[in-house]
């Protein structure tokens, strides 16, 4: 194994560990300050090791919005419905709820809400009693981070 490949693997491992830590921390959080928006960093370029899943992009969100321009979480996070491709968070009682997002090497984006719902953007929303502790979620994370 070359030195640069070893460094790349160490970077990936660190990134995966940080992502998991952030998800665990965010799963215990409620709403953040109103009006705050998540800063979206550039998505990593697709990796040949993980192929992106086919996605269906809804043209518009059918969810009602509020003064912040975001839909109520209860109208977005519905089991069996499609999570909007452009999901950037939602509101609860008019307060912004920071999105729990993971950007994948493949270009796909995973999202979770209240440690109960999860989906890839543009895909069907699933529900589990404890998303972050489930084998299914952890497998998705491993696939996501390579």
Q: What is the pLDDT of residues 92-128, one digit of tens each?
A: 998 999 999 999 999 999 999 999 999 999 999 999 9
Report the C-alpha gap between 37 and 83 in whole angstroms. Answer: 18
3-state helix, strand, coil in the chain (%, to 5): 30, 20, 55
Nearest Cα to Cα of residue 100 among 65, 109, 42, 122: 109
What is the per-residue pLDDT for 47?
Answer: 42
Q: Partners of 103 in the beta sheet?
A: 109
Inter-residue contact 95 to 66 (CB < 8 Å): no
Which pLDDT tens digit goes with each residue over 9-53? 455 554 454 454 444 444 444 444 344 444 444 444 444 444 444
Rg for the chain, CA atoms, rounded: 16
- Token couple for 77: 């996070």
Name the one residue in this structure whose structure tokens are 């404890």.
Answer: 130
Beta strand 117-120 pairing with 95-97: unpaired
The model's pTM: 0.55
């Amino acid at each position: 194994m070359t030195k640069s490949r070893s460094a790349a693997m160490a970077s990936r491992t660190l990134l995966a560990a940080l992502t998991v830590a952030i998800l665990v921390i965010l799963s215990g959080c409620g709403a953040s300050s109103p009006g705050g928006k998540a800063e979206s960093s550039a998505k990593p370029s697709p990796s040949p090791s993980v192929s992106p899943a086919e996605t269906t992009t809804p043209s518009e969100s059918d969810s009602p919005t509020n003064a912040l321009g975001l839909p109520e979480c209860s109208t977005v996070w519905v089991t069996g419905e499609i999570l909007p491709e452009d999901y950037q968070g939602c509101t609860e009682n008019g307060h912004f709820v920071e999105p729990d997002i993971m950007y994948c090497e493949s270009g796909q984006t995973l999202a979770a809400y209240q440690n109960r719902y999860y989906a890839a953007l543009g895909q069907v929303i699933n529900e589990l009693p404890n998303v972050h502790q489930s084998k299914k979620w952890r497998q998705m994370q491993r696939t996501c981070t390579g």
